[in-house]
Structure 1
Amino acid sequence: MDSMVRSRTATRLPLDRPARSLTRRGRTLGVALALGALLASGATMTLAGPAVAATGDIKCPSTECARIAPAAGSPVAIASDNAGALYLAYSGGDLLKLDLATGAFSTVTTGLGNLRGVAVADGSAYITNFDGVLQQVTLATGSRRTLASGLPSLFGVARFGTTTYVTDGNGEIVAVPDGGSSRVVATGLGFSYGLAFDKAGLAYTADMGQGRILQTNVTTGATRVLASENYEPTSISVDGNSLVYFLVGDEVKRVNPATGAQSHVANIVGLNIFSFSLTASGEAYTSGGSGDGLWRLSGLTSR
């Protein structure tokens, strides 16, 4: 396993994340506060939305933004199995399942550590830990195993083929192949809380510090900037047409990797959200802030 520097400042957070409000002005101060909180203490943020909905906005609650479950703490990451269930990871170490048909919560397992990201594939959840640990949890049984440890603080996670990829606090993408050792496949990516792949195996990250949306070839390590000058972008997702979605404050934006064209999708009004999880069906799921429950955003990819 590659030798990497491990974070010495991991701090376990309570189940509910603290409410933090940052405006879109004051870029330098906002980035410093955001990255300082996320890297030093592992805290997450909420960003205040506008008070009045404009034409084309998604207002919550509405038919396009529906509350699907009551408060269940504030998950740091949400992933869909694309088969009727959501999986929620919490900074306190719990992994919960939400049955979308019944609205019932169940506990998959607990004690996973200081969690940051979750991806679901082939009956397993792949979970990143602020303490530099990547774990695999079998969803049917809750059993777990460690895929990699001793890494820098880990955040985003995604599966492609038989390899798990993660983003770390050093601005790297690390590949952990099934049955193999971890290795760094890309560097210089800044700080990204998320990670997503398109059908061709290209990786996408959102650099919160420099406001960049990046595309990386994880085979060669080559990276190019798709979009820039975005204030603290989060929530990187790729739809079935390989269009890339991300969140800037309360605004959902989209970029076409083939053309570089960037466009406004919608403002989300009425919720303080830090990120959303876009599913294969085009629906997105988000936590509405501390104690505000779970919400479904419909129709983003058809706008």
Structure 2
Amino acid sequence: MRSRTAIRLPLDRPARSLARRGRALGAALALGALLASGATMTLAAPAVAAVGDVRCPSTDCVQIAPAAGAPVAIAPDNAGSVYLAYSGGDLLKLDLATGALSTVTTGLGNLRGVAVADGSAYITGFDGTLQQVTLATGSRRTLAAGLPALFGVARFGTTTYVTDTNGEIVAVPDGGTARVVATGLGFSYGLAFDSAGLAYTADMGLGRILQTNVATGATRVLADETYEPTSISVGGDGLVYFQVGDEVKRVNATTRVQSHVTDILGINSFSFSLAASGDAYTAGSGQDGLWRIAGLTSR
């Protein structure tokens, strides 16, 4: 029986004033209330490493940015950089070759999700705002506002898709108006697409991994879990990866066969983001910085 650790919500980067930390904590508590409304948080005994587990730190799991603190969302650009969004409103860039952290922009609000595509970052806020940030200049513009609290975000084609607190996927086409394209999805902190344009979410409340056709709104259940699944990514192998406590699992969207990938031990990881290389990036819920798990999809 695999051990489970309690989910701790990511807060803020270390160089915050006490007042800013207080606001971030308040937002985290509000999000915690949403999670608690659909699921019971549990505590378990510390995990014991087994064959195939990833222990952090190790050769398989390296801390690549100790000063990164605890970002709420991570987005590799598959071109040598990783972008980090923080609940305090900062967007940072990590150069993987040099380890240098730089600030893209600040003051974006109470952030929850980030996706990177075509030289821009697309960022969701707890206040129901979707923003686009030009990575080269840090300039920003608002794509949608006045929506329910937003969490996951992904790009497909010329449309940005987001998940909200009402269990919906909302589509925001470039130059167009936001519209709901799917409902009844529960609470999902993340959102991912496969190459065919099918969307994937992880319902933390009911423990479901869902596939949604955003053109029709039709949704089917790929997996049922007994614990709160967090994180959702589609690997280069076409399989859907998600996290359940300290365990990473994957499911074949065609056959719905799921399997254990690994347990992540040594850090309290809330979620991870996959790069095209198959490496995964994750951050602990404390001041653990950013970690890289080598070759997650090949395990």
TM-score above 0.5: yes
1:140 aligns with 2:136: yes
Output aligned runs, 1:28-47, within 5 Å. Answer: 35-36=32-33
Identify if the C-alpha distance between structure 1 residues 169 and 260 changes in structure 2 by more than 3 Å, giving closer, same or farther: same
Q: Deviations over 1:242-282 (max 9, x none)?
A: 20000000000000001110100000111101000111110
- TM-aligned CA deviation for residue 46 of structure 1: 11
What is residue 4 of structure 1 aligned with on the other side? none
What is residue 75 of structure 2 aligned with on the other side? 79
TM score, norm. by length of structure 2: 0.87
Percent identity over the alignment is 79
Output aligned runs, 1:28-107, within 5 Å. Answer: 35-36=32-33, 50-107=46-103
Residue segments in structure 1 that go unaligned for 5+ positions in a row = 1-12, 19-32
Q: Deviations over 1:60-108 (max 9, x none)?
A: 1111111111132210000011001010000000000000100000000
Q: Distance in 2 between matches of 1:89 and 1:48?
A: 29
1:115 aligns with 2:126: no
What is residue 298 of structure 1 aligned with on the other side? 294
Is the contact made by 1:176 and 1:183 (CA closer than 8 Å) also made in structure 2? yes
Q: Deviations over 1:13-62 (max 9, x none)?
A: 654689xxxxxxxxxxxxxx97515599xxxx998783421111111111
1:166 aligns with 2:187: no
TM score, norm. by length of structure 1: 0.86
1:195 aligns with 2:191: yes
Is the contact made by 1:118 and 1:157 (CA closer than 8 Å) also made in structure 2? yes
Residue segments in structure 2 that go unaligned for 5+ positions in a row = 1-10, 15-20, 23-29
Is the contact made by 1:48 and 1:250 (CA closer than 8 Å) also made in structure 2? no
CA RMSD of aligned residues (A): 2.1
Is the contact made by 1:230 and 1:248 (CA closer than 8 Å) also made in structure 2? no
Equivalent residues, number: 273
What is residue 3 of structure 1 aligned with on the other side? none
Q: Distance in 1 between matches of 2:78 and 2:12?
A: 29
Q: 4+ residue runs of structure 1 moved beyond 6 angstroms?
A: 45-49
- Match for residue 149 of structure 2 among 136, 153, 160: 153
- TM-aligned CA deviation for residue 291 of structure 1: 1.0
Q: Distance in 1 between matches of 2:44 and 2:73?
A: 19
Q: Distance in 2 between matches of 1:229 and 1:260?
A: 13
**Structure 2: which amino acid aligns with 1:68?**
I
